[in-house]
Amino acid sequence: MSNYYLAVDIGASSGRHMLFTIEDGKMQMDEIYRFENAMTNVGGKLLWDTKKLFNEIKNGMKECKRLGKIPCSMSIDTWGVDYVLLDEVGQVLGDTYGYRDHRTDGMDEEVYKIISEEELYNRVGIQKAIFNTIYQLTADKLQRPEVLKEAKTLLMIPDYLNFLLTGVRASEYTNATTTGLVNPHTKQWDYQLIEMLGLPREIFLELKLPGNEVGNLRDEIKEEVGFDLKVLQCASHDTASAVMAMPHLGNEGLYISSGTWSLMGVENTEALTRDCDRKSNFTNEGGYDYRYRYLKNIMGLWMIQQVRHEANDALSFAEYAELAARANSFPSLVNANDERFLSPKNMTEEIKKACAESRQQVPSTSGEMAAVIYKSLAACYGNTIKEISANTGKQYEVLHIIGGGCKNRYLNQLTADATGLTVLAGPSEATAIGNAMVQMIEDGALADLMAARETVHKSFDIEVFNPKGGERC
């Protein structure tokens, strides 16, 4: 019987435990546990409840035991940029902030007093986003220096959850690259930059590649969940895992990892840190096997998620897509990448306000609101394709859409029309699949990344959307 591999995939709005096996040369996937996740507002601060997250991780592991499907290994992936600070004995210091908290407002200017925006980009190749770890740590230095002074270790969120499971502190490369503090040439922390910024060098651990074995479960965890296994570090930034699962056809590597965020880009073998890349706001995040994800962060499905919550979740996402298709002729568009949509008090009102300010029709129904969001996203995708082609000097024919957003057939068709490219949609659980791929490669069940991608292509349905007349926004 094939081994079971447990992928714990935690996104900004939900988490899931997925069990994988290899049967007849195909990956088999079974979702065994799912839970909600969200930042919580505590006294005006947006924080992560890591205790709750860890309890949910253990609950999913207990479900493996109940089902009699004991995995040989597990890995955890999450979003990037957020972290915990630990003291000498491994206790969390202070709050664990979420990236949408406004404590980083103005922190970019504080960093640029030390190193210019141009020099910083040339040095680390990471796009400017006000929530990047470099700005969060600058906020720590200025707003809670006592916490930073006491800290002995910085761990990104998945590394911290691994620490709770094993008692071992280890930092993984792909998630660390989202901080804006990793040198793309040495592929380790940029300690010179860290010291320039006045941050404590000693809290940054040597970076390990995906596939690194962190350790086995602590005795108390083993007793609680009812079994032991190996805990591995996957490509623990969820986008890095998702892009691993891109089912290549030929040499096309253009993708959108579609979820709360839309991460749109290509794979490169080296970082592109030229002035044209900076001005286009592209990032060079680390991927599996030291590949670089040259991509742009686009606001993504966060906008429709918030609109849905503000309407008390009365409609499903599928219903929103259906209503948007009926309201397809509604003409208004917004800039889906405007920071005003990052963390507004009310997304619905912010979109209406943006339409009014630009003297466009203001959406008044759920369908019109959804149409504005989806058509604006597609327009943003179309513009981003042009930038990617200009900066890489390549023309593309195929666009892979992976992740949960690939199930939105209306948005997929809009994207094909806006980009003029054939869209290959799927797999929807790309992040969990990429997580499991690392485990399978390390266990010898899959030979390498390319063999794993071929297996993904054979194992999961891919839907094709052709552009209608090759139109571009």
pLDDT at residue 179 in the model: 98
Beta strands in 48-103 (DSSP E): 73-77, 83-86
Tell me which of 232, 258, 285 is where a domain ends: 232
Query: What percentage of the chain exceeds 90 in pLDDT?
Result: 93
Say which residues have a Cβ less than 8 Å from residue 91's Cβ, sequence separation at least 6: none
Total residues found in the chain within this entry: 473
Do 295 and 173 sit in the same domain of this protein? Answer: no
Tell me which of 202, 232, 262 is where a domain ends: 232
Write out pLDDT tens, residues 70-120. 999 999 999 999 999 999 999 999 999 999 999 999 999 999 999 999 999
Do 65 and 127 sit in the same domain of this protein? Answer: yes
Mean pLDDT confidence for 358-378? 98
CA distance 430 to 404: 8
Backbone angles phi, psi at 468, to 5 degrees: -85, 95
Please check whether residue 237 is in contact with residue 285, taking contact to mean a CB–CB distance below 8 angstroms.
Answer: yes
What does pLDDT average to over the chain? Answer: 95
Residue 135 vs residues 81, 187, 354: alpha-carbon distances, Å:
10, 20, 27
Q: What is the domain extent for residue 215?
A: 5-232
Write out pLDDT tens, residues 141-171. 999 999 999 999 999 999 999 999 999 999 9
CA 220 to chain centre: 31
CA distance 21 to 440: 9
Do 326 and 446 sit in the same domain of this protein? Answer: yes
Write out pLDDT tens, residues 396-418. 999 999 998 999 999 999 999 99
Write out pLDDT tens, residues 267-291. 999 999 999 999 999 999 999 999 9
Do 363 and 472 sit in the same domain of this protein? Answer: yes
Q: Which residues are catalytic?
A: 238
Taking Cα atoms as reference points, which of 457, 377, 362, 456 lies closest to residue 417? 377
Q: Is the pLDDT of residue 250 over 60?
A: no
Q: Is the pLDDT of residue 473 over 80?
A: no
Query: What percentage of the chain exceeds 70 in pLDDT?
Result: 98
Do 433 and 402 sit in the same domain of this protein? Answer: yes
Residue 253: pLDDT band (50, 70, 90) is confident
pLDDT at residue 132 in the model: 97
pLDDT at residue 252 in the model: 60
Mean pLDDT confidence for 367-391? 97
Please check whether residue 187 is in contact with residue 173, taking contact to mean a CB–CB distance below 8 angstroms.
Answer: yes
Do 125 and 273 sit in the same domain of this protein? Answer: no
Do 35 and 119 sit in the same domain of this protein? Answer: yes
Write out pLDDT tens, residues 7-63. 999 998 899 999 999 999 999 999 999 999 999 999 999 999 999 999 999 999 999
Do 211 and 270 sit in the same domain of this protein? Answer: no
Q: Is the pLDDT of residue 471 over 60?
A: no
Do 306 and 449 sit in the same domain of this protein? Answer: yes
CA distance 194 to 214: 25
pLDDT at residue 260 in the model: 87
Please check whether residue 74 is in contact with residue 229, taking contact to mean a CB–CB distance below 8 angstroms.
Answer: yes
Mean pLDDT confidence for 196-217? 98
DSSP code per residue over 259-303 = SSSEEEEEEESS---SHHHHHTT-EEEE-GGG-EEEEEEE-TTHH
Please check whether residue 18 is in contact with residue 85, taking contact to mean a CB–CB distance below 8 angstroms.
Answer: no
**CA atoms 284, 286, 287, 288: torsion sign:** positive
Burial of residue 43 (CB within 10 Å: 0-12, 13-18, 19+) is exposed
Do 270 and 227 sit in the same domain of this protein? Answer: no
Do 212 and 248 sit in the same domain of this protein? Answer: no
463-465 and 5-10: which strand pairing?
Answer: unpaired
Structure tokens at 385: 């394709």
Do 149 and 119 sit in the same domain of this protein? Answer: yes
Domain count within the chain: 2
Structure tokens at 299: 């606001």
Tell me which of 208, 232, 256 is where a domain ends: 232
Please check whether residue 271 is in contact with residue 284, taking contact to mean a CB–CB distance below 8 angstroms.
Answer: yes
Q: Is the pLDDT of residue 248 over 80?
A: no
What's the predicted TM-score (pTM) here?
Answer: 0.89
pLDDT at residue 469 in the model: 54
CATH number of the domain residue 340 falls in:
3.30.420.40
pLDDT at residue 1 in the model: 62
pLDDT at residue 472 in the model: 37
